[in-house]
Amino acid sequence: MNDIALNISVLKSQIPPSVRIVAVSKTKSVSDIMNAYNAGHRIFGENRVQELLDKKDQLPGDIEWHMIGHLQSNKVKYILPFVCMIQSVDSPRLLSIINVEAEKSGCTIDCLLQFHIAKEETKFGFDLEDVTHLLESEDFNRLKNVNICGVMGMATFTDDMVPVREEFKFLRNCFITLKEKYFKEKEQFKEISMGMSGDYHIAVEEGSTIVRIGSLIFGRRGTRLA
């Protein structure tokens, strides 16, 4: 077994099977991804459109790609035909554009609403008020080609798990509030994507349904930011 296959099997032994693992392969090579693929893994996450496009053409077609990084509106059309889920919907405008492109392609695309839960200023995302506003707007009701499946968030980057746990609790509460108020009848609204290499165990304890794990599977990345 290679290191990547081993890392995946260790991770799977520590995470309940009901929690999906997105292997975050940003900056990693096609052969690294193939190691994970050959170990049976099928769900991968990337945060840059160009990198995703370059890689997916060299990889098997049954990979489920998740877009997890900030997405510029003008790039939506390139990933829409094949991407499985856009986890990083962080503005009403982006959501409308995804809807327009999905309509053109005749498909419906699964999306998560990204919440800003961390203390850092630089992370994208909604707060609960923004989302309430969005979901109550008339524009939202016209969006027929986006399927809102839940929420996503990134905790503050720190070794102190006390605030991290609070942020995950907060995200789960946002999910519950939205579920009650807007998605009670909608079975697909069930995902809470939270937890990365350094904090996934806390996230799972706090109710995560999707963890996004990069360095713990593929090893540390270089110095490129995010």
Ligand X SMILES: *Cc1c(COP(=O)(O)O)cnc(C)c1O
Query: Residue numbers of the site for ligand X (CB under 6 A)?
Result: 24, 26, 47, 68-69, 154, 196-198, 212-216, 226
Q: Which is nearer to ligand X, 175 or 200 (CB)?
A: 200
- Which residue is it, tokens 């995200």? 171
Question: Phi and psi of 56, rounded to 5°?
Answer: -65, -30
Name the residue type at position 113.
L
- How many other C-beta atoms can be found within 10 angstroms of the C-beta atom of residue 76? 21
Nearer to ligand X, 92 or 195 (CB): 195
In whole angstroms, what is the distance from residue 120 CA to residue 110 CA? 27
Q: For residue 20, what are the β-bridge partners?
A: 210
* Smallest gap from residue 190 Cβ to ligand X (A): 19
Minimum CB separation from ligand X for residue 25, in Å?
Answer: 9
Instruction: Tell me the longest C-alpha to C-alpha distance in the chain.
Output: 53
145 or 207: CB nearest ligand X: 207
Please state the closest distance from residue 87 (CB atom) to ligand X, in A.
7
* Closest residue to ligand X using C-beta atoms: 214
Three-state DSSP at 89 gives: strand
Query: CB of 164: closest distance to ligand X in angstroms?
Result: 12
Nearer to ligand X, 147 or 197 (CB): 197
In angstroms, rounded to a whole number, what is the distance separating the alpha carbons of residues 35 and 41? 9
